[in-house]
Amino acid sequence: MPGAAADRVLIAGGGIGGLALAVALARQGRQSLVLEARSAFAPAGAGIQIGPNGVHVLQVLGVAPHLAPFVGIPELIDVVTGLSGKRIATLPLGDWIAARHGAPYWVAHRADLHAALKTAADASPLIEIFTGFPINAIRDEGGQVEVSDDAGRTTKGAVLVGADGLWSKVREHIASGRAPVFAGASASRVVIPAAAAGRLAGNAVGLWLSPKAHVVHYPLRGGSEIAAVVITEETWQSRVWDAEADRTQLNAHLAHFHDDLAHILMHAEGWRRWSLNRLAELPAWTRGRVALLGDAAHPMFPYLAQGGVLALEDAIVLAQHLSSGRPDAEALQRYADERRPRARRVQEASRRNGWIYHLGWPMSVARDSVMAAAPGTRLMAGLDWLYGWRA
């Protein structure tokens, strides 16, 4: 077990948010200890979309060069009617969004993003990573936070940040009894070779809309692979983020989409799925010297592709506050005060997108007509508040 350091920041969770926070703190000259519950890091997940607001954070942290060789840079978002396969609208990405916001729109494999963050963390002498430490108890007293695991091992630091995801243990210390609730939908994901992806293999984010379901796909790893996610309203639920998908059930949903998409995805192998859950807004993100970050504080529905990106934003803002010279407890509260309105707005926009995506007839006809009539640049400009964010 790593020894104690009075000023270091304890970080529960070695995922995207936790590692980003460690790297951000190191760049400010502050030590951190990342406590990961799993005994080893293992590649998990599939694709992740990283808007300019997220790429900007990766650039500031010096992580972007580690990830850049593995990303895709889609030229556009292709919005399609699920049943007919007809294009509704084309929204610009590529050079247009990079010029508008000073950073590109990237798509990547989550494992590649995690590996880039861990490479940066491993290179810093100010960051320690300790695996196999599931936090069991938290004590905040005497100007220090002490945590212990199931085996009774303990360690201390000046601050504890819960970056431990949707089912956060740290959240129980701050907001006891506040737990996620099943949202009546699931997401299934797969990665397939581009050579087998047919119409899905273009350099674009594809968005196929259908009543009570939609599909998103985009290129990974220089276009050699295609990530696809199918989000459907259904009753299956689980706390497991990497469950095996029910192919019969999945194919029944895909049957409502055009053959250009359904045929490809019905024959893809390796589908995994997870339940979508909502968390009521917490009364607080902090308590004394303990704070929350990312999904532990504000889980996002995937309808705006901002869950991982908001964790990156949280990380850089929290590191700035913890390096401001203010007392740590005050710094944590200032971080929460700054980030809560932003997270709330993104959550609301994501929920609204989900409702729009899953509209049934006749409202879906009105939606398609409005999108088809509006210039794509105008629709994307409506998201300047999202993609134009800077630390």
Active site residues: 218
The CA distance from 133 to 146, in Å, is 13
Helix (H) or strand (E) holding 233: strand 225-233
Neighbours of 381 (CB within 10 A): 13
Please tell me the number of Cα atoms within 13 Å of 382 on its side-chain side: 9
CA dist 57 to 60, 138, 308, 309, 312, Å? 5, 30, 12, 9, 7
Query: How many Cβ atoms sit within 10 Å of the Cβ of residue 157?
Result: 24
What is the length of the chain?
391
Count CB atoms within 10 A of the CB of residue 318: 29
Grouping H, G, I as helix, E, B as strand and the rest as coil, residue 221 is helix
| Residue 181: CB atoms within 10 Å | 10
- 65: number of Cβ within 10 Å: 12
The DSSP code for 257 is: S
Nearest to 108 by CA among 45, 57, 201, 164: 45
Please give the structure tokens belonging to residue 73. 């840079």
How distant is the alpha carbon of residue 83 from its chain centre? 29
Note the maximum CA span of the chain.
Answer: 64
